[in-house]
Amino acid sequence: MKYKAILFDLDGVICNTDQFHYWAWQQIADEIGVHFDENINNRLRGVSRKESLDIILESHSPKLNEAEKEYYLNKKNDLYRGLLKQMSPADLSAEVKETMDRLKSQGILLAIGSSSKNARPILKQLGLENYFHAVSDGTNISRSKPDPEVFLKASEYLAIAPEFCLVVEDAKSGIEAALAAKMDCAAYGNGTSYNLAHYNLEKITDLLPIVLSRN
């Protein structure tokens, strides 16, 4: 079996919370008075909350002190958590659920590999709190993507060596993290524009022929 485990990124792969992150950061950038756009937002994919603020502030002067940064980080998370409240199992797309169910039925292990500290509450709201064989997220890592830590931890939790893991990612930083972990990677959404991954998925169901034909 080539792929014994599939490690899914969460925001922008399993669910469209990447849009919520974008909207919340836009409010913060407006409040600070710093330019923010889709290209900058794409650089925040997979990156921790704190590092995301540093990227947004790259072109800003005067520099913010730690207390001011803390204020904006908390405010961004409050705005984001407010948006998450609307989410329910109906926000889990049929394609994502069907793809994961099919993989699971083949005996393949499924895990989450996300930089987010909100991953567990999101999974709960989608009705997926007990669905994955392992969850590795922002609460169990000290370095976010592109560092491989989050995926290496997921493979450790599953007890499956990296060479048997396939990562599904929408972030450039996430694809780089997968490659640094010596794992194969399937890019999705924005991730397909970098041509860095082993596979590009046009739709999430494209994962099935890739995995099942190689197993």
113 binds Mg ion (CB under 5 A): no
Closest CB to Mg ion among residues 9, 176: 9
Q: What is the spatial distance between Cα 57 and Cα 61, in angstroms, rounded to a whole number?
A: 8
99 binds, among Mg ion, ligand BG6, none (CB under 5 to 8 A by kind): none
137 binds, among Mg ion, ligand BG6, none (CB under 5 to 8 A by kind): none
- Per the CB < 8 A criterion, the answer to whether 20 and 84 are in contact is yes
Give the pair of three-digit tokens for residue 142: 């000290």
- Per the CB < 8 A criterion, the answer to whether 17 and 84 are in contact is yes
Quick one: residue 127, left, alpha or beta (phi over 0 = left, psi -120 to 50 = alpha)?
left
96 binds, among ligand BG6, Mg ion, none (CB under 5 to 8 A by kind): none
Q: Choose the stretch contacting ligand BG6; rule: CB under 6 A; options: 47-55, 59-67, 146-154, 207-215.
A: 47-55
Under DSSP, the state recorded for 196 is: -
Contacts with ligand BG6 by CB under 6 A lie at 10-11, 21, 44-49, 52, 77, 114-118, 138, 171
Write out the catalytic residue numbers. Answer: 9, 11
